[in-house]
Amino acid sequence: MRFLLVEDTAELARSVQDLLRLNGHAVDWAATLADAGDCLAAASYDLILLDIALPDGDGRRFLQDLRRAGQDMPVIMMTARSAVADRVDALDGGADDYLTKPFDLAELEARARAVLRRRGGAAQTVRGFADLTFDPLTATLTVAGEARELRNRELRLFEILLGAPERIFSKDQLCDRLFSFAETVTDNAIEVYVGRLRRKLEGSRARIETVRGLGYRLTGA
The answer to whether residues 11 and 17 touch, using CB atoms and an 8 Å cutoff, is no
Confidence at residue 23, expressed as pLDDT on a 0 to 100 scale: 83
Domain coordinates in residue numbering, the chain: 2-120, 127-219
Q: Say yes or no: domain 2-120 is CATH 3.30.565.10.
A: no
Torsion angle, CA of 186/188/194/199, rounded to 10 degrees? Answer: -110
Q: Do domains 2-120 and 127-219 have the same CATH topology?
A: no
* Cβ contacts of 69-73, under 8 Å, gap ≥ 24: 71/40, 73/44, 73/45, 73/46, 73/47, 73/48
CA distances from 41 to 21, 26, 49, 218 (A): 22, 17, 17, 29
CA distances from 44 to 73, 114, 135 (A): 9, 20, 25
Confidence at residue 87, expressed as pLDDT on a 0 to 100 scale: 78
Give the chain's end-to-end CA distance (angstroms, integer): 26
| The residue count for the chain | 221
| Structural domain 127-219, CATH architecture | Orthogonal Bundle (1.10)
Confidence at residue 90, expressed as pLDDT on a 0 to 100 scale: 82
Confidence at residue 80, expressed as pLDDT on a 0 to 100 scale: 84
Instruction: For residue 140, give the H/E element and its range.
Output: strand 140-143
Confidence at residue 123, expressed as pLDDT on a 0 to 100 scale: 43
Tens-of-pLDDT digits for all 221 residues of the chain? 899 999 999 999 999 999 998 888 899 999 999 999 999 999 989 999 999 999 999 999 999 999 999 888 999 999 887 677 777 888 888 899 999 988 998 899 889 988 887 776 544 567 889 889 988 777 788 988 889 888 888 888 998 999 889 999 999 999 988 888 888 888 789 999 999 999 999 999 999 999 999 999 999 86
The backbone torsions φ and ψ at residue 180, rounded to the nearest 5 degrees and listed phi first, read -90, 170
The backbone torsions φ and ψ at residue 17, rounded to the nearest 5 degrees and listed phi first, read -60, -45
